Amino acid sequence: MIISPSQVLKGQTCMKQVFFHYELGIRPNITSANLAFGKAVDSSVMDYLAALSTGTSLPSMEDVFLRHWKKETSIPLEYSATKSESKMLDIGVKMALALPEAWEKSELMVFTMPDGSPALQVKLAVQISKQDSLRGYLDLIALNQEGKVVIVDIKTTGVEYDDIYTLQSDQLTAYQILVDAHADRLGVERADKVGFMCLHKKTEPVIHQPQIVERRSQDRVQEYLDTCGWYIEDYNAGRFNRCSLGAFNSPCKMCDFKNLCSSGDTDDLIIPDRAIAPLKLVA
């Protein structure tokens, strides 16, 4: 079985969501504009960092974002009541224009891998058992001013991340595991630090300086590997339980499958043929 940090996170949130998404392959029929915005911003950041690392020129950052935004909005999108298409476009352009100065202030440098390519959107996988592997796509491996290897995940967020989340994030733990497992191939000894760089999606967007912390301890690494093992055990055993949590922190309102899960309504979903029979059993 191949798992990813996002898949494990979904399992920690609600295994019923995992059942609908991964086991049955059900998807919403309309893409969230927030998802499209995040992809356009992420692609713009990667274009900028790649050009900076290789010494190639780019058009203006506004043009870079507009190109990616045009691609992402070529399909129907669902916008929120507070952020229309024009508002999101304006925020994205402002964010793209602010990126070069924010990156320069970070004093980070994109790491160059042995093959000469910049360490951007690096795909890595590692065996965690005889039949199971963990796979991840790392936004960025960088070097700080002391020459330390820093794993940085770029986040386009509606709220600012705090230091506690950076210290606790399982995603960063997973990325450390992946980099350490491929250290020789990547040309590093190990991952020294991990962190997030958050692009705050406000009317006047803010690009926060990277929140960088020390690498995870071996106990934390083993704890995450245990978590992955338990997730795989639950999945293989068919333990797809619902988890609504408390009213103040329920994941249900934001879940793509809330109507299906609560009332069997499939109107807003794409149901593949392989999901039809299982859905009849759980309806």
Read off the pTM: 0.94
pLDDT (tens digit per residue) in 6-29 = 999 999 999 999 999 999 999 999
Q: Are 189 and 183 in contact (CB under 8 A)?
A: yes
Rounded Cα distance, 14 and 245, in Å: 9
pLDDT for the residue 282: 65
Q: Are 201 and 157 in contact (CB under 8 A)?
A: yes
2-237 CATH choice from 1.10.1740, 3.90.320, 3.30.70, 1.10.1790 = 3.90.320
pLDDT (tens digit per residue) in 98-110 = 999 999 999 999 9
- Average pLDDT score over the chain: 95
Q: Are 192 and 149 in contact (CB under 8 A)?
A: yes
Domain ranges of the chain: 2-237
Name the pLDDT band for 283 (thresholds 50, 70, 90): low
pLDDT (tens digit per residue) in 108-167 = 999 999 999 999 999 999 999 999 999 999 999 999 999 999 999 999 998 877 889 999
